[in-house]
DNA sequence: AGTCGGGAGTAGACAGTGTCTACGGGATGA
DNA sequence: TCATCCCGTAGACACTGTCTACTCCCGACT
């Protein structure tokens, strides 16, 4: 049984977790609270998720899939130039992180990623691949993977530091767009906006 | 009584916390475990830190002070040019984050920063000020605060994503230096390395 | 048709956590 | 000498994640 099952308790637990993390944040994702909201006893999840972090990982995987879908849709809908696509992709990424802070925090919780026992790192690879592709077409002379990595890190850093107010305090900006523009200009060059 | 007191229980709890987070990571910073290692009962910390996160914030403040000291020392010792100073500063920042992952994670735990009830955001301001100064001298035509913010976010993102392996997996790089160079070149221009 | 087996969820125990409150005890000052 | 107050203790409480024993029910096999 995989995550795509929509009938059983396994999928219901993930659904409840997604709602819960969206509504109340990552710290609300207690094993017992998820079970409570799913209408089962606190021992029931154990049959499908041997441990708490496995359930959390399954919920985070939903977040990665969601982000991935939005990114793919955005890249397809945006204009044809790689630069405008990259801009749209970056905006979607930041928008996701800032509009769903709980899910974003869960997705990048280090204790879910550090050992990678659950293979959560690989969930970022598809989006990174499109990032590498677009970056390579904007700046063909550079090492696309390194450049894409630096850009991804920049987006991630902006998302985090802006999300909890540090960047707003430090830069005095009102919203995150100047930072986003600065990052894109820095890594891709300022031309043709 | 402030954090600079080195005699009483308050300072001892912070010391123990720093050792503990360095040795065993951020998840080991249990209130009761800190009290145990300090040789007091689990209720004792409450007299100095009304809540657990206040103790954690005090420990994180030590981390910020430590990073701040290293940064200041590095900037002073490095060459005279702002570009080389920025390179040295960035290396120190990344080195700190990667050599002390537990402390770095604690410092940027969102639940310590989000409400800023404990004023933890402001601890980053001194280092950010020197960053703004150096960036402004390298690229006087740009908005130094925005540019410095974007660069800080880039360093932070590299530190996090590299720290838990995502960037290593995605870029295939062996260490973080190419990413660091890419970030510095992007934000400051590639000249005079 | 009857029985057996095993998947699925329940319920309770256990150690551990953060917080709260009542209590001691010892030094200091009147 | 005695009262005060600071500092730390000890236990309770609700909550957490994990483990284990138990029940129930449905489906398959004889």
What CATH code is carried by the domain that includes residue A118?
1.10.357.10
- Inside any domain, residue B84: yes
CB B20, CB B29: distance < 8 Å: yes
**What is the phi-psi region of residue B38: left when phi exceeds 0, alpha when psi lies from -120 to 50, beta otherwise?**
alpha
- A88 and A125 together in one domain: yes
- A116 and A33 together in one domain: no
Q: Work out the angle at residue B133's Cα, subtended by the Cα atoms of residues B129 and B134, and round it to the nearest 5 degrees.
A: 120
Average pLDDT over residues B137-157: 97
Separation in Å: D23 C1' and B38 CA: 48
* Nucleotide nearest residue A56, measured CA to C1': D17
- H-state helical runs in A30-100: 31-38, 52-77, 82-99
Q: How confident is the model at residue B4 (pLDDT cuts 50, 70, 90)?
A: low
- Inside any domain, residue A156: yes
Alpha-carbon span B172 to A146, nearest angstrom: 9
Domain end call among A10, A26, A50? A50
- B80 and B150 together in one domain: yes
How many other CB atoms sit within 10 Å of the CB of residue A28? 14
CB B179, CB B167: distance < 8 Å: yes
Q: Do A163 and B110 touch (CB under 8 A)?
A: yes
- B41 and B78 together in one domain: no
* Nucleotide nearest residue A52, measured CA to C1': D17
Q: Do B149 and A179 touch (CB under 8 A)?
A: yes
Q: Please, is B4 exposed, middle or buried when counting C-beta atoms within 10 Å of its C-beta (0-12, 13-18, 19+)?
A: exposed
C-alpha to C-alpha distances, B7 to A120, B11, B14, nearest whole angstrom: 45, 7, 11
Separation in Å: C15 C1' and B32 CA: 14
Q: Please, is B120 exposed, middle or buried when counting C-beta atoms within 10 Å of its C-beta (0-12, 13-18, 19+)?
A: buried
Of B105, B146, B167, the CB nearest to A171: B146
Q: How confident is the model at residue B191 (pLDDT cuts 50, 70, 90)?
A: low
* Chain B nearest C-alpha distance from A7 (Å): 33
- A80 and A155 together in one domain: yes
Is residue A40 classed as helix, strand or coil in its secondary structure? coil
- Inside any domain, residue B69: yes
C-alpha to C-alpha distances, B158 to A13, A98, A148, B117, B177, nearest whole angstrom: 33, 19, 12, 27, 10
* pLDDT tens by residue, A112-140: 777 787 789 999 999 999 999 999 999 99
CB A170, CB A157: distance < 8 Å: no
- B41 and B88 together in one domain: no
- Inside any domain, residue B193: no
Domain end call among B50, B70, B86? B50
Is the model's pLDDT at A171 over the cut of 50? Answer: yes
CB B6, CB B62: distance < 8 Å: no
Q: Which of residues 48-77 of A touch strand D (CB under 7 A)?
A: 50-53
Least confident of A53-57, A77-81, B80-84: A77-81
Separation in Å: C27 C1' and B24 CA: 38
CB B168, CB B106: distance < 8 Å: no
Residue B3: per-residue pLDDT:
52
- Inside any domain, residue A16: yes
Closest C-alpha among A124, A185, A78 to residue A132? A124
- Inside any domain, residue B23: yes
For residue A183, the Cα-to-chain-centroid distance in whole angstroms is: 18
Average pLDDT, chain B: 93
Q: Work out the angle at residue B144's Cα, subtended by the Cα atoms of residues B138 and B145, and round it to the nearest 5 degrees.
A: 145
Closest C-alpha among B33, B63, B59 to residue B48? B59
B54 touches strand C (CB under 7 A): no
Is residue A84 classed as helix, strand or coil in its secondary structure? helix
Q: How confident is the model at residue A191 (pLDDT cuts 50, 70, 90)?
A: low
Nearest CA in chain A to B174: A146
Separation in Å: C22 C1' and B182 CA: 61
Q: Which of residues 32-91 of A touch strand C (CB under 7 A)?
A: 39-44, 46-48
B73 touches strand C (CB under 7 A): no
Alpha-carbon span B179 to B10, nearest angstrom: 40
- B135 and B182 together in one domain: yes
- A1 and A91 together in one domain: no
Q: Do A113 and B169 touch (CB under 8 A)?
A: no
- Inside any domain, residue B25: yes
Rounded percentage of chain B residues whose pLDDT exceeds 90: 84
Write out the residue range of the structural domain in which residue A3 sits: 1-50
Work out how many domains chain B is built from and give that number: 2
Write out chain A residues lying below 8 Å of B148, CB-based: 170-171
* pLDDT tens by residue, A11-45: 999 999 999 999 999 999 999 999 999 999 999 99
Is the model's pLDDT at B165 over the cut of 80? Answer: yes
- A64 and A46 together in one domain: no
* Nucleotide nearest residue B47, measured CA to C1': D7
Closest C-alpha among B61, B172, B49, B139 to residue B107? B61
Alpha-carbon span A99 to A92, nearest angstrom: 10
Of A125, A147, A165, the CB nearest to B182: A147
* pLDDT tens by residue, B38-96: 999 999 999 999 999 999 999 999 999 999 999 999 999 888 899 999 999 999 999 99
Is residue A125 classed as helix, strand or coil in its secondary structure? helix
* pLDDT tens by residue, B91-117: 999 999 999 999 999 999 878 777 787
Residue A192: per-residue pLDDT:
55
Separation in Å: C12 C1' and B55 CA: 35
pTM: 0.93
- B68 and B119 together in one domain: yes
- B35 and B61 together in one domain: no
Q: What CATH number is given to the structural domain containing A24?
A: 1.10.10.60
Q: How confident is the model at residue B119 (pLDDT cuts 50, 70, 90)?
A: confident
Residue B2: per-residue pLDDT:
46
* Nucleotide nearest residue A45, measured CA to C1': C9
- A97 and A139 together in one domain: yes
B50 touches strand D (CB under 7 A): no
- Inside any domain, residue A121: yes
Suggest the residue from B138, B182, B187 to mutate for an interface test with chain A (most A CBs closer than 10 A). Answer: B182
């Amino acid at each position: 049984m995989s995550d795509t099952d929509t009938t059983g308790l396994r999928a219901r637990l993930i659904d409840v977790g997604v709602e819960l993390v969206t509504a109340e944040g990552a710290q609300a994702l207690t094993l017992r609270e998820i079970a409570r909201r799913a209408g089962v006893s606190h021992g029931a999840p154990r049959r499908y998720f041997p441990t708490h972090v496995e359930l959390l990982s399954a919920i985070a995987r939903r977040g990665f899939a969601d982000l991935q879908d939005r990114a793919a849709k955005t890249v397809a809908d945006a204009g044809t130039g790689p630069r405008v696509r990259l801009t749209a992709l970056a905006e979607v990424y930041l928008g996701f992180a800032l509009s769903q802070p709980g899910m974003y925090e869960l997705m990048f919780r280090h204790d879910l990623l550090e050992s990678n026992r659950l293979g959560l790192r690989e969930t970022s690879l598809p989006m990174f691949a499109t990032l590498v592709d677009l970056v390579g077409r904007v700046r063909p002379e550079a090492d696309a993977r390194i450049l894409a990595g630096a850009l991804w890190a920049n987006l991630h850093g902006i998302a985090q530091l802006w999300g909890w107010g540090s960047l707003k305090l430090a830069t005095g900006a009102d919203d995150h767009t100047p930072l986003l523009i600065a990052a894109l200009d820095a890594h891709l060059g300022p031309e043709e906006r």
